[in-house]
A = this chain, B = another copy of it.
Amino acid sequence: MVAERAGTSIAAVSLVVNGKQAGRISDENAERVRAAVRELGYVVDSTASALARGTSDVVVLLAPDLPNPFFGRVINAVQETLGPRFQLLLFASPTGEQPTVADVQRLAALRPAGLLVSAPTVEFLDDAPPGVPLVLLDAPGLQDRAPTVNYDLASGVRALIAHLAERGHTTIGYLDGSTPAATYELRRTLLQAEAERRGMTLLTTPPVRSRPDIAEAMAATEAALPGWRAAGATAVIAASDTLAHGVLAACARAGLRVPEDIAVAGFDDLPASSVTAPALTSVALPGDLLGSVAARLLLSLIEGGEAPETHELPAELVVRASTG
């Protein structure tokens, strides 16, 4: 360790570099260490540090659909609230799939300081490395397993169904996500209950599903559209905006006018949803809030704070042209 070239023991350097000199190193020596560090451009070897300490300064965000524009703001917010102390690394499993046990083991071997997991499955939680601070994002019904940040989907759903009812719709097709995440389960359940409460029908059998991919969603919709229309559907709700984009594409190809022939709505309020043809009505899920709150929970967990409570974020309806 070259840094000690400037006078002190190697332990002293470690203490100063980690800001633990308080009352253990003289100000004079501390200053000499800092000078040496500066001159030599020394930076702690995080691998060795992680080995000695048992934990690294890496925080991993796992999401099944990371390239979804939804995560842009989540990532930025997480980075910002984590600050420079931690390094955020992202782990993406192939779109719509869950990380394998092997993936999880390899992540654990990285000794992350913390894990942020979006839309996890129960299976994933069973495999999760024990002892690693863990915060779940968008994982309704799983808050007994770990601190969780959820959206208040119920109120968003209520607003969406009320809006469609007001527009005179009574039968609604539903394009579900094929990912086995709890949040999709909940969206469907809530929509169904709310529709029922108002004497409306949400068409969920046979189930129509797609991974978060516009082309796949379009194909699924094209196949389902005749059935939905035959059942009297005048509107389609998709479990996410990406899926809804596929619905729009399918309607266009089928020669259906939106919203005149059929209304369309989604969840997320992606940036692109304001420029689709037509602009998309959506239940907005604010990603920046999700990221900042989750990161704050994780920080308090890492600092040994008591298990923080679960948080619920607003989910507001944004009405645009696709529902008239």
Question: Is A9 on the interface with B (CB-CB < 8 A)?
Answer: no
Interface residue A69 (Cβ < 8 Å from any Cβ of B) = yes
Residues on B with beta carbons closer than 8 Å to the beta carbon of A252: 275
Output the nearest chain B residue to A246 by Cβ-Cβ distance: B275
CA distance A249 to B277 in the complex (A): 11
Interface segment out of the listed A90-98, A178-186, A202-210 = A90-98
Whether the Cβ atoms of A66 and B66 lie closer than 8 Å is yes
Asked whether A79 lies within 8 Å of B94 as measured between CB atoms, the reply is yes
Number of interface residues of A (CB under 8 A): 56
Say yes or no: is A30 at the interface (Cβ < 8 Å to chain B): no
Alpha-carbon separation in the docked complex, A91 to B278 (Å): 34
Evaluate whether A105 and B43 lie within 8 angstroms (CB atoms) in the complex, with A67-B69, A90-B89, A94-B79 already known: yes
Cross-interface CB contact of A67 among B47, B72, B249, B277, cutoff 8 Å: B72
* Copies assembled: 2
Partner of A109, one of B44, B103, B107: B44
Within the complex, the shortest CB–CB distance from A318 to chain B, in Å, comes to: 14
B68 close to A109 (CB less than 8 A): no
Is A187 on the interface with B (CB-CB < 8 A)? no
A46 at the interface (CB under 8 A from B): yes
Q: Can you name 23 A-B residue pairings with CB atoms under 8 Å?
A: A43-B105, A44-B109, A46-B110, A67-B70, A67-B75, A68-B72, A69-B69, A72-B95, A75-B92, A76-B94, A79-B94, A84-B102, A87-B110, A88-B92, A90-B90, A214-B271, A215-B271, A245-B271, A245-B275, A252-B275, A272-B272, A272-B276, A275-B276
Does A313 reach chain B (CB closer than 8 Å)? no
Among A92, A245, A248, find the residue whose CB has the most chain B CB atoms closer than 10 A.
Answer: A92
Contact of A91 among B68, B90, B92, B271 (CB under 8 A): B90
* Cα(A258)–Cα(B92), bound, Å: 37
- Please tell me if the beta carbons of A272 and B214 are within 8 angstroms of each other in the complex: yes
- Contacts of A44-77 to chain B: CB distance below 8 A: 44-48, 50-51, 56-58, 60, 66-72, 75-76
